[in-house]
Amino acid sequence: MASVAQEPASREPGGPEGPAQERRALPGWRAVGARLLALREGSIIVIAIVTAIYFSVNTSNFFTGENLETLLPYFAPFAILAAGEVFVMILGEIDLSIAGLYLFAPILFYKLNTSVGLSLVPAVIVALLACMAVGAINGVFVSVVGVNSFVVTLGMLFTFEGLSLIISKGTPVATPGGQPPLGTFGKVFGGGTYSELIWAVAIVVILQIVLMFSRWGVYTVAIGSNKLGASEAGVRVNLVMIRNYMLCSLTAGLVGVFEAVRSATVQPNPAGPNEILFLAVAAAVIGGTLLTGGSGTVVGALIGALFLGILKDGLILQGVQATYLLFYTGLAVIVAMTANVFVGRVRRGQTGGG
Amino acid sequence: MAAEGAQAPQPGQAPPPEPVVPVASAPDDVLRVEHIAKRFGPVTALRDVNLHLRKGEVLGLLGDNGAGKSTLIKIISGFQKQDAGRMFVRGQPYEPKSVDDARAKGVDTVYQDLALIDELSVYHNLFLRRERVLRPLPLLNNREMKREARRALDEIGINIPRIDVSVARLSGGQRQAIAVARTVNSDADIILLDEPLAAMGAKEGAQILDLVARLKAEGRVSIIMILHNYVQVFQACDRVSMIQDGTIVLDKPTAETSVEELTKIVVDEYRRARLAAQG
């Protein structure tokens, strides 16, 4: 086996070695490009940059402070949701219930604050713990009972959107702590201009570190890559799966509260959350996380969300009519994903071909 | 087993009750398995299995597909629980509650499907479930794991050029070697190898058998190895046990048996099964 010439390259982001000869031969920008493409997130980074350049050339005010102030907070909620979803998707599973919890958490928060009389922070904490309990139930159904995750979490999605409608009696509620003038609570929990952006960056950084440099992350990848093998090696598969579902539900509830505070009201209408769910999953997939499991990146999901944000923002700046927006977004996502596949092929060709 | 001279039983007549190898033991046993039985719903995987493993020994476990070899391995390794029977490790009752528990008692397994994680690097695979962390931070100490992995692979003479690549990129032989190294490196002294030479070329297979021979020469570990190729059994094993229809039908030192005897047991069983199937 030793005689077989191996020339593989690190697939880990930032792997220290890689195809060294090749890399040394490339000067300046090409070296940077090669290094970028060696990352799992490489293709989406390239595509996001190209998209941003396109819009900055074709619109006059893309790179203005004012626009960035619109753009940057816009993608943050998707980035947080996608970060949690990545942990479930790497397992080879899916969590659709995040839309239900996104709606349920702020309504429960409202009830705990107004009816039960908890003050703001304890009410948020209890609401988020409730979300994590739902995540634990999801995880038990998927791992222990063995029900298909799509079905279980779809059921949970309907259940908690329904529960939100029941509790709120179908009428919008005013988010506690989200009414002007905003206090510290409101500013921290989503109301401040950059609040969600800061949360998103912090959560993504922490979860990426967990994914790459902790046992939890290694076991998550192990289960998604070879579930039987992982359990034979002694990984407690069910525990890890339940934990990941709890994390995913926590991020969903958190974003739900943020958005409720930011917009000052909770609209008990499932349509908005459902669209957000799809965008979050799309951000994760665009960012390089496989729907089939075994591989994924939280940073990629953040950039995927950023790409979706740039796209929507750029299309609006370019003067695309509101009725055409969804249509163009759909086409652009397909084009971007196709480009992603090609760039990914170039990347593998470069690092694997030798 | 059937009498010498193999007269086929009369059609319609029930096969004669076969003599089953009784509970065997030796004073230096590290592992003893007594009257193990296991059912999966209507299927009886193991009826009554007695097996023992002496210190420093390499025991070859033979048997047809579905004879119960892998089930037996999974029970010994703590992955499944037997319905009946007892096990002892170094004379002490051995009731593994989990794979981790079995490993803590010195029993570790290299599975047929390798239990390697394609997406993880060589060293992450080597340290799966035994990761080194940077205390007090719960983060992986990748540098130390790389260094230890390199040393462990060198020690047992496995040449893997790069240990930070994902194992998906390695050949079948390299993967098997890593799986064996993981087990040896875990300080286990009872090692179960479930078809270590499956799906492997002759040259790679020879390298794995060399590795087993080196481990045997060290004398620290005792090994049970499931094999299919009789030549390899005689090359690598001290003793051979054959499992058939959920029980052990032969248990002999390899020096006292032959390829012919092993083949004959299998052929007789095949004839009997065919007659039974014809009714």
Q: Write down the pLDDT at residue A193.
A: 87
Tell whether the model's pLDDT for residue A134 goes beyond 90.
yes
Question: Token pair for residue B195?
Answer: 């078809």
Domains, chain B, in order of start with CATH, read 29-268 (3.40.50.300)
Q: Write down the pLDDT at residue B18.
A: 53
Segment among A76-85, B3-12, B125-134 with least mean pLDDT: B3-12
Which chain A residue has the Cα nearest residue B118? A225
DSSP state of B107: E
Among B100, B120, B173, beta carbon nearest to A218: B120
- CA quadruple A318, A324, A326, A329: dihedral positive or negative? negative
Q: Write down the pLDDT at residue A347.
A: 61
**Residue A71 φ/ψ region, left for φ over 0, alpha for ψ in the -120 to 50 degree band, beta for the rest:** alpha
Question: What is the CATH number that goes with domain A61-340?
Answer: 1.10.3470
Q: Which residues, in sequence order, are bridge partners of residue B54?
A: B29
Segment among A26-30, A93-97, A297-301, A336-340 with least mean pLDDT: A26-30
B59/B268: higher pLDDT? B59
Residues of chain A that touch chain B, judged by Cβ-Cβ distance less than 8 Å: 1-2, 4, 6, 8-12, 15-17, 209, 213-215, 218, 221-222, 224-226, 228-235, 294-295, 352
Task: Summarize the confidence of residues A146-168 as an average pLDDT.
Answer: 96
Tell whether the model's pLDDT for residue A254 goes beyond 80.
yes
Helix (H) or strand (E) holding B38: strand B29-40
- CA quadruple A307, A245, A221, B127: dihedral positive or negative? positive
Of B269, B240, B246, nearest in space to B48 by CA: B246
> What pLDDT, in 10s, does the model give residues A98-119?
999 999 999 999 999 999 999 9
pTM above 0.90, yes or no: no
Task: Summarize the confidence of residues B251-277 as an average pLDDT.
Answer: 87
Identify the three-state secondary structure at position B34. strand
> In chain B, pLDDT over 90 holds for what percent of residues?
35
Tell whether the model's pLDDT for residue A293 goes beyond 80.
yes
Question: Token pair for residue A115?
Answer: 């009816």
Q: Write down the pLDDT at residue A13.
A: 40
Of B201, B226, B199, B90, nearest in space to B212 by CA: B226
B15/A210: higher pLDDT? A210
Q: Write down the pLDDT at residue A349.
A: 57
Residues of A with Cβ-Cβ distance to B139 under 8 angstroms: 209, 213-214
Q: Is cis: bond before A273, omega within 30 of 0?
A: no
Helix (H) or strand (E) holding B167: none
Question: Token pair for residue A4?
Answer: 């077989």
Task: Tell me the CA distances in angstroms from A215 to A99, B73, B139, one per residue in order.
Answer: 29, 27, 7
Within 8 A by CB and 6+ apart from A227, the residues are A92, A237
Q: Write down the pLDDT at residue B275.
A: 87
Q: Write down the pLDDT at residue B13.
A: 52
Assess contact for A92 and A293: CB atoms under 8 A: yes
Which chain A residue has the Cα nearest residue B176? A1
Q: Is B133 on the interface with A (CB under 8 A)?
A: yes
Q: Quote the ipTM score.
A: 0.78
Q: Write down the pLDDT at residue A322.
A: 85
Q: Write down the pLDDT at residue B238.
A: 94
Q: State the alpha helices, DSSP H only, in chain B.
A: 69-76, 99-104, 122-126, 142-155, 172-185, 202-218, 230-236, 259-278
Residues of B with Cβ-Cβ distance to A295 under 8 angstroms: 119
Q: Write down the pLDDT at residue A84.
A: 97
Q: Is B162 on the interface with A (CB under 8 A)?
A: yes
Tell whether the model's pLDDT for residue A146 goes beyond 70.
yes
Q: What is the mean pLDDT of chain B?
A: 85
Tell whether the model's pLDDT for residue A20 goes beyond 50.
no
> In chain B, pLDDT over 70 holds for what percent of residues?
90
Task: Summarize the confidence of residues A293-308 as an average pLDDT.
Answer: 93
Tell whether the model's pLDDT for residue B81 goes beyond 90.
yes
Tell whether the model's pLDDT for residue A1 goes beyond 70.
no
Tell whether the model's pLDDT for residue A2 goes beyond 50.
no
As a residue count, chain B comes to 279
Q: How many CB pairs under 8 A join A and B?
A: 101
Task: Summarize the confidence of residues A72-83 as an average pLDDT.
Answer: 91
Task: Summarize the confidence of residues A68-95 as an average pLDDT.
Answer: 93
Compute chain B's Rg from CA coordinates: 20
pLDDT tier for residue A139 given thresholds of 50, 70 and 90: very high
DSSP state of B37: E
Domain boundaries, chain A: 61-340
pLDDT tier for residue B14 given thresholds of 50, 70 and 90: low
Q: Write down the pLDDT at residue A19.
A: 42
